[in-house]
Chain A
Amino acid sequence: ILNVEQSPQSLHVQEGDSTNFTCSFPSSNFYALHWYRWETAKSPEALFVMTLNGDEKKKGRISATLNTKEGYSYLYIKGSQPEDSATYLCAFDGGTSYGKLTFGQGTILTVHP
């Protein structure tokens, strides 16, 4: 079974702070790395799909980087807002024929006003 780890498990920041968290995954058989945002009482929502070493993706104040050689991805949030409070999931795609994703346990972000 593949090991996908996210750190920290939870994070509390003040409104306006910038923050980042990490997803570690196997560096072999890499196909893609997905980031999802999961707000309470809602469905997980896809943020990014990253496929190439050195990839950097951006969506508003959220960005992500990818290092496939060492097996990690960072998610950054600039100027956190209370509406950014959510669980952020990463998922490793090792290229199976059926699109299997292996998920980390998530980072719970709470942004205090």
Chain B
Amino acid sequence: DGGITQSPKYLFRKEGQNVTLSCEQNLNHDAMYWYRQDPGQGLRLIYYSQIVNDFQKGDIAEGYSVSREKKESFPLTVTSAQKNPTAFYLCASSNTRPGEPSSTDTQYFGPGTRLTVL
């Protein structure tokens, strides 16, 4: 089955702890994205990666970090510097080729991780 997996589904952490959310895809996509969802708001872009070993900040990158060591994997670390980490986090990948976007490129999403910081 091709798709995107995120783990865990629910995550609880104490304030001040860093936590890493997993995202894996087997769609052979170059581009991957992390979004955050808060109640009443649209999905907001945290970080994106167009290719292995490259990633860029999105609109709300403060307090987050990522890595892209393998094409299939794009883990997100929520650091203690993130002021409001409790949220729902979605990972996505797309068939967008680096620097060659097409108007029909589509993003495919994982099932998400709900992070609660106590």
Binding site for B on A (CB under 8 A): 1, 4, 9, 31-32, 34, 36, 41-46, 49, 51, 89, 91, 93, 95-106
The CA of A103 and the CA of B41, in the complex, are separated in Å by 9
Q: Tell me which of A4, A42, A99, A104 has the highest count of chain B C-beta atoms within 10 A of its own C-beta.
A: A99
- Contact partner, A99, options B31, B43, B111, Cβ 8 Å: B31
Q: Tell me which of A34, A43, A51, A93 has the highest count of chain B C-beta atoms within 10 A of its own C-beta.
A: A43
B90 engages A44 (CB within 8 Å): yes
- Contact partner, A102, options B42, B48, B50, Cβ 8 Å: B42
Q: Using CB atoms, name the residue of chain A closest to B42.
A: A103
In the assembled complex, 13 residue pairs joining A and B whose CB atoms fall closer than 8 Å, in A order, are A4-B42, A9-B40, A34-B107, A43-B109, A43-B111, A44-B90, A89-B42, A96-B101, A98-B50, A99-B94, A99-B101, A101-B107, A105-B41
A49 engages B111 (CB within 8 Å): no
The CA of A4 and the CA of B44, in the complex, are separated in Å by 12
A104 engages B42 (CB within 8 Å): yes
Tell yes or no: B45 within 8 A of A by CB. yes
**B104 neighbours in A (Cβ, 8 Å):** 32, 49, 51
B103 engages A98 (CB within 8 Å): no
* Top 9 A-B pairs, shortest CB-CB distance: A103-B42, A99-B96, A103-B43, A32-B103, A43-B109, A51-B103, A44-B109, A105-B42, A43-B111
Interface contacts beyond A44-B109, A95-B103: sample of 8 additional A-B pairs, CB < 8 Å, sorted by A? A4-B42, A32-B103, A43-B3, A49-B103, A91-B43, A98-B98, A99-B96, A100-B48
Binding site for A on B (CB under 8 A): 3-4, 31, 35, 40-45, 48, 50, 56, 58-59, 90, 94, 96, 98-99, 101, 103-112
- Shortest CB distance B6–A (Å): 9
Q: Tell me which of A31, A46, A51, A101 has the highest count of chain B C-beta atoms within 10 A of its own C-beta.
A: A101
Given contacts A103-B43, A105-B40, contact A98 B107 (CB under 8 A): no
- Shortest CB distance B107–A (Å): 6
**A34 neighbours in B (Cβ, 8 Å):** 106-107
A98 engages B56 (CB within 8 Å): yes
Q: Tell me which of B4, B58, B106, B110 has the highest count of chain A C-beta atoms within 10 A of its own C-beta.
A: B106
